[in-house]
Amino acid sequence: MNESVSRRHFLSRGITGVSAVWASAHWPALLAAAAHAHQAAKSAIPQKFEFFSAEEAKEIDAITSRIIPTDDSPGAHEAGVVYFIDRGLSTFSSEDQRTYREGLPELQARVSEMFPGSAKFSALTPEQQDEVLHSFDEPAGPGKAAKPAQRNLRRRPGAQSFFETLRQHTIVGFLIDPDFGGNRDGAGWKVIGREREHMFQPPFGYYDKGYPGWESAAKEAEKK
Amino acid sequence: MLSTPGDRMPEQPRYKTTDEVDFVVIGSGAAGGILAKELSTNGFRVVVLEQGPYLAEADFTHNELEVLRRNQLTNHPELQPTTFRKTPQEKAKRHRALVYGRMVGGSSVHFTANYWRFHEIDFIERSKVGPIPGTGFSDWPITYAELEPYYTKVEWEIGVSGLAGSSPFDPPRSKPYPMPPLPVKSGGVIFERAARKLGWHPFPAPMAILSQPRPGRSVCVQCGFCESFGCEVGAKSSTLATVIRMAEKTGRCEIRPNCYVHGIETSANGRVIGAAYFDKKRVTHLQRAKAVVVCANGAETPRLLLLSASKQFPDGLANSSGLVGKYLMLNSGPSAMAVFEHPLNDYKGVAVSRILHDFYELDPQKVGFFGGGGLDARFDLTPINFAFNGYDMGGLPPETPRWGKEFKATLAHNYTRTLEIVGHGTSLPVESNSFSLDPNLKDAWGLPALRMTYKDHPDDLKLGAFLRDRIMELLDAADAVQKWASPVEEQDFAYHLLGTCRLGNDPKSSVINADHRTHDVKNLFLCDGSSLVTSGRGQPTLTISALAYRAADRITALARQGEI
Cβ of residue B84 closer than 8 Å to a chain A Cβ: no
Question: What b/e sequence results for B331-363 when a residue is b if at least 16 CB atoms lie within 10 Å of its CB, and e otherwise?
Answer: bbbbbbbbbbeebbbbbbbbbbbbbbbbbbbbe
pLDDT at A140 over 60: no
**Chain B residues with beta carbon closer than 8 angstroms to that of A37:** none
pLDDT at A24 over 50: no
Nearest to B392 among A21, A149, A199 (CB): A149
pLDDT at B491: 93
pLDDT at B82 over 90: yes
pLDDT at B5: 54
In this predicted model, what pLDDT tens digit does every residue of B354-387 receive, in sequence order? 999 999 999 999 999 999 999 999 999 889 989 9
**Chain B residues with beta carbon closer than 8 angstroms to that of A26:** 218, 233
Cβ of residue B342 closer than 8 Å to a chain A Cβ: yes
**B327, B351, B301, B431: which is closest to B30 by C-alpha?**
B301
Least confident of B8-12, B165-169, B372-376: B8-12
What ipTM was estimated for this complex?
A: 0.93
- B200 torsion bin: left (phi>0), alpha (psi -120 to 50), beta (else): beta
B13-27: average pLDDT: 97
How far, in Å, CA of B153 to CA of A36, rounded?
35
Judge: B344–A204 Cβ closer than 8 Å, yes or no: yes
Judge: B486–A39 Cβ closer than 8 Å, yes or no: no
State the nearest Cα–Cα gap between A62 and chain B, in angstroms: 12
Cβ of residue A154 closer than 8 Å to a chain B Cβ: yes
B156-164: average pLDDT: 98
pLDDT at A12: 28
Least confident of B9-13, B245-249, B410-414, B487-491: B9-13
In this predicted model, what pLDDT tens digit does every residue of B22-47 receive, in sequence order? 999 999 999 999 999 999 999 999 99
Cβ of residue A20 closer than 8 Å to a chain B Cβ: no
pLDDT at A20: 31
Judge: B405–A69 Cβ closer than 8 Å, yes or no: yes
In this predicted model, what pLDDT tens digit does every residue of B462-481 receive, in sequence order? 999 999 999 999 999 999 99
pLDDT at A106: 93
Judge: B234–A29 Cβ closer than 8 Å, yes or no: yes
Nearest to A153 among B183, B346, B390 (CB): B390
pLDDT at A149 over 50: no
Residue B341's identity, in one-letter code, is E
Cis peptide before B131 (omega within 30 of 0): no
How far, in Å, CA of B503 to CA of B509, rounded?
9
Q: Where are the domains of chain B?
A: 1-111+116-159+238-317+502-564
How far, in Å, CA of B159 to CA of B16, rounded?
34
pLDDT at A99: 93
pLDDT at A40 over 60: no
Give Cβ neighbours of residue B527 (< 8 Å, ≥ 6 apart).
B31, B35, B293, B294, B295, B516, B544, B547, B548, B551
Percentage above 70 pLDDT, chain A? 68
pLDDT at B392: 57
Judge: B163–A214 Cβ closer than 8 Å, yes or no: yes
pLDDT at A223: 79
Judge: A149–B396 Cβ closer than 8 Å, yes or no: yes
Q: Is the dihedral of CA A9, A15, A21, A24 positive or negative?
A: positive
Cβ of residue A22 closer than 8 Å to a chain B Cβ: yes
- B381 torsion bin: left (phi>0), alpha (psi -120 to 50), beta (else): beta
**B532, B146, B77, B91: which is closest to B326 by C-alpha?**
B532
Residue B261 DSSP symbol: E
pLDDT at A113 over 50: yes
Residues 182-201 of A with CB under 8 A from B: 188-189, 191-195, 198-201
| Choice between B6 and B62, residue whose per-residue pLDDT is larger | B62
3-class secondary structure for chain A? Answer: CCCCHHHHHHHHHHHHCCCHHHHHHHHHHHHHHHHHHHHHHHCCCCCCCCCCCHHHHHHHHHHHHHHCCCCCCCCCCCCCHHHHHHHHHHCCCHHHHHHHHHHHHHHHHHHHHHCCCCCCHHHCCHHHHHHHHHHHCCCCCCCCCCCCCCCCCCCCCCCCCHHHHHHHHHHHHHHCCHHHCCCHHHHHHHHHCCCCCCCCCCCCCCCCCCCCCHHHHHHHHHHC
State the nearest Cα–Cα gap between A118 and chain B, in angstroms: 22
A134-145: average pLDDT: 58
B342-355: average pLDDT: 98
Give Cβ neighbours of residue A141 (< 8 Å, ≥ 6 apart).
none
Mutation target vs B (from A154, A199, A211; most B CBs, 10 A cutoff)? A154
**Chain A residues with beta carbon closer than 8 angstroms to that of B233:** 26, 29
Nearest to B184 among A68, A201, A208 (CB): A208
To the nearest whole number, what is the mean pLDDT of chain B?
95
Judge: B390–A150 Cβ closer than 8 Å, yes or no: no
**B108, B151, B116: which is closest to B238 by C-alpha?**
B108
pLDDT at A19 over 90: no
pLDDT at B226 over 70: yes
Judge: A179–B62 Cβ closer than 8 Å, yes or no: yes
Phi then psi dihedrals of residue B290, to 5 deg = -75, -25
pLDDT at A44: 53
Which residue blocks in B243-382 are alpha helix, DSSP H? 243-249, 300-307, 364-367
How far, in Å, CA of A49 to CA of A51, rounded?
6
**Chain A residues with beta carbon closer than 8 angstroms to that of B412:** 73, 191-193
A140-161: average pLDDT: 41
Judge: B61–A179 Cβ closer than 8 Å, yes or no: yes
pLDDT at A96 over 50: yes
Is residue A129 within 8 Å of residue A76, measured between CB atoms? no
Residue B57 DSSP symbol: G
A137-162: average pLDDT: 45
How far, in Å, CA of B451 to CA of B207, rounded?
32
Judge: B62–A133 Cβ closer than 8 Å, yes or no: no
pLDDT at B157: 98
Least confident of B18-22, B48-52, B393-397: B393-397
Give Cβ neighbours of residue B240 (< 8 Å, ≥ 6 apart).
B28, B33, B55, B56, B103, B104, B105, B108, B109, B230
How far, in Å, CA of B564 to CA of B557, rounded?
10
Judge: B403–A192 Cβ closer than 8 Å, yes or no: no
**A186, A218, A208: which is closest to A79 by C-alpha?**
A186
To the nearest whole number, what is the mean pLDDT of chain A?
76
Cβ of residue A38 closer than 8 Å to a chain B Cβ: no
pLDDT at A32 over 80: no
| Choice between B278 and B7, residue whose per-residue pLDDT is larger | B278
pLDDT at A33 over 80: no
Question: What b/e sequence results for B282-296 when a residue is b if at least 16 CB atoms lie within 10 Å of its CB, and e otherwise?
Answer: eeebebbbbbbbbbb
pLDDT at A174 over 90: yes
pLDDT at A21: 36
pLDDT at B389: 55
B77-82: average pLDDT: 95
Strand partners, B261: B277
Question: What b/e sequence results for A198-216 when a residue is b if at least 16 CB atoms lie within 10 Å of its CB, and e otherwise?
Answer: bbbebbbbbbbeebeebee
pLDDT at B110 over 70: yes
pLDDT at A4 over 50: no
Judge: A147–B69 Cβ closer than 8 Å, yes or no: no
How far, in Å, CA of B123 to CA of B534, rounded?
7
In this predicted model, what pLDDT tens digit does every residue of B350-361 receive, in sequence order? 999 999 999 999
Nearest residue in A to B196, CA atom: A221
pLDDT at A159 over 60: no
pLDDT at B68: 84
A43-58: average pLDDT: 81
pTM to 2 decimals?
A: 0.91
pLDDT category, A145, cuts 50, 70, 90? very low
Residues 88-127 of A with CB under 8 A from B: 91-92
Percentage above 70 pLDDT, chain B? 98
Count, residues in chain B? 564
Cβ of residue A218 closer than 8 Å to a chain B Cβ: yes
**Chain A residues with beta carbon closer than 8 angstroms to that of B345:** 193, 195, 204-205
Cβ of residue B16 closer than 8 Å to a chain A Cβ: no
State the nearest Cα–Cα gap between A169 and chain B, in angstroms: 10
Residue B67 DSSP symbol: I
Nearest residue in B to A93, CA atom: B70
Residue A185's identity, in one-letter code, is D
Judge: A145–B399 Cβ closer than 8 Å, yes or no: yes
Q: Where are the domains of chain A?
A: 5-42, 54-147+154-192
| Alpha-carbon dihedral A126, A132, A135, A136, rounded to 10 degrees | -100
pLDDT at B393: 64
Q: Coil, strand or helix: which one is B483?
A: strand
State the nearest Cα–Cα gap between A127 and chain B, in angstroms: 11
Cβ of residue B163 closer than 8 Å to a chain A Cβ: yes
- Domain B1-111+116-159+238-317+502-564, CATH homologous superfamily name and number: FAD/NAD(P)-binding domain (3.50.50.60)
Residues 305-334 of B with CB under 8 A from A: 333
In this predicted model, what pLDDT tens digit does every residue of B521-539 receive, in sequence order? 999 999 999 999 999 998 9
- The upper half-sphere exposure of residue A161, i.e. CA atoms within 13 Å in the direction of its Cβ, equals 13
How far, in Å, CA of B300 to CA of A58, rounded?
48
Strand partners, A160: none
pLDDT at A92: 78
**Chain B residues with beta carbon closer than 8 angstroms to that of A71:** 405, 408
